[in-house]
Amino acid sequence: MSNTKKMTYTKEGYAALQRELSDLYAAREKNKEDIAQARSYGDLSENSEYDEAKKEQGRLAVRIMEVEHMINNAEIIDDRDIDSSVVSVGSLVTVDYKEKGCDVVYHIVGSYETDPRNGKISDVSPIGSALIGSHAGDKVEVELPNGKKIHLTVKHVERATA
């Protein structure tokens, strides 16, 4: 039995992973051509194009393995399975952010999908993990990595729509 932890993704996040893997496979094929071209220039000991192409080959190989691993260990959340009254991956959560003095909307997503500038926070981030399992009306205290504590009141929870 595998000890690999399943990673949670929304359907959109999983599709993005699949697109990235497809793009990486295409880039790997292009890289093979680049290596062949650079090799045709002759002396490899002073061939910067060859050196760069080989470095890119290694980078692509590592990223392909990472993305394949993520896909193989993905758990896709079906939005029909999300209880819209409880904060979970795939939820849109409106909170009263006491320290900011305003409402903030967070879209709780899997860690691969994180995009804080657009309100997408990971379910394993300090705020995301503190909100998981909450309901409207719940007060949540979050300890940030810098040691500060923030206070959120969950105002509204709903399923995110694609």
Per the structure, how many domains does the chain have? Answer: 2
pLDDT given for residue 56 in this prediction:
95
Give the integer Cα–Cα distance in Å for 34 and 62: 18
Q: Against a cut of 0.85, is the pTM above it? A: no
Structural domain including 96 reads 79-159
Note whether residue 48 is domain-resident: yes
Same domain, 63 and 91: no
Give the integer Cα–Cα distance in Å for 136 and 154: 5
Among 77, 103, 128, identify where a domain stops. 77
pLDDT given for residue 1 in this prediction:
46
Note whether residue 133 is domain-resident: yes
Give the integer Cα–Cα distance in Å for 28 and 115: 27
Type of residue found at 62: V
Note whether residue 2 is domain-resident: no
pLDDT given for residue 126 in this prediction:
94
Among 51, 77, 103, identify where a domain stops. 77
CATH code at position 97? 3.10.50.30
Same domain, 52 and 96: no
pLDDT given for residue 110 in this prediction:
84
Give the integer Cα–Cα distance in Å for 141 and 77: 26
Q: Mean pLDDT in runs of 10 for the chain (162 residues)?
A: 70 89 97 91 80 94 94 82 81 92 91 87 93 95 93 92 62
**Taking each helix axis from N to C terminus, what angle separates 11-39 and 48-72, rounded to the nearest 10 degrees?**
160
